[in-house]
Amino acid sequence: MIVVKTRKALKKAIRGLRRQGKTVALVPTMGALHDGHVTLMRSAWKHADVVLVYIFVNPRQFGPNEDFDRYPRPWKKDVAICRAEGIDLLYAPSLEDVYPEGYGTNVSVEGMSEELDGAYRPGHFDGVATVLTKMFMRLQPDVALLGEKDYQQLQVVKKLVHDLDLPMKIIGVPTVREASGLARSSRNQYLNEEQKNAASTLYAAMKKAAETIRKGGDIQEALDVGKQALLSAGFKKIDYFELRDAVALAPITMLKKPARLLAAAYLGTTRLIDNIAVNPGRQRLK
């Protein structure tokens, strides 16, 4: 595995791969790799000859009161995981390499970034769109694989690639879960054992709400019951627990096409997000 940390070294490595005519898949990460990332890596081999991973904890997608400074950075463990998965190239740039002095450009995806996570984390998706645009240009992948756990992010990135005519494809990979149903996330490391047990309620509440809706139950009532289940389990704050169009993420009043139930809530100081698909039905939101 080639490990590069500078743009100059990256350019040389990418030129070498391209001369061989090999297709390239990219797995973008912020490190603290877990089974969810490994699933992305293994899925990537189905779509390309070469698999690249980048690790960069992007400050632009963290809010002023979020966990940038304490975000886990287990470098040696991450490198070992990439080696074990046969990754061809690992790119780990410095902050200065990505955002040099005087950097002043921002990429924004309008119409999909303002609500849900965008409403509670202003500027978050601008940070995601900006860093991914830079990384896509540097790494020149044919495909990039992102997890469906960050479903709004996945849709934002798909729109970014479409709107900018980038010559690549974005592939979503299903969420990897613990045995309890808790979605795998680097932030799960912040949870103690009691909180991990309570965290499983998030997926359970979403499954119950989705099933109620599929069986013809009142949609708003199903959402309200789900929120109450979270509060009863110890979640201290719910940012959202909503049903949205599965593609545009627009609010819906009638379930006529595929939808997504999306949620974000706090256990202690840890913010957990998750989502689940909901099949079409004919229930009206009140």
- Decide if 37 is catalytic: yes
Beta strand 270-278 pairing with 50-55:
unpaired
CA distances, 66 to each of 61, 73, 123, 132, 179 (Å): 10, 16, 12, 20, 28
Q: Please, is 214 exposed, middle or buried when counting C-beta atoms within 10 Å of its C-beta (0-12, 13-18, 19+)?
A: middle
List phi, psi (to 5°) of 100.
-65, 165
Q: Which amino acid, one-letter code, is at 38?
A: V
Q: Which residues contact 119 (CB under 8 A, 6 or more apart)?
A: 240
The single-letter DSSP state of residue 253 is S
| Distance separating alpha carbons of residues 277 and 258, to the nearest angstrom | 7
Catalytic annotation, pick one of 37, 47, 124, 162 = 37
**b/e map 228-241, b = 16+ CB within 10 Å:** ebbeebebeebbbb
Which residues have a catalytic role annotated? 37
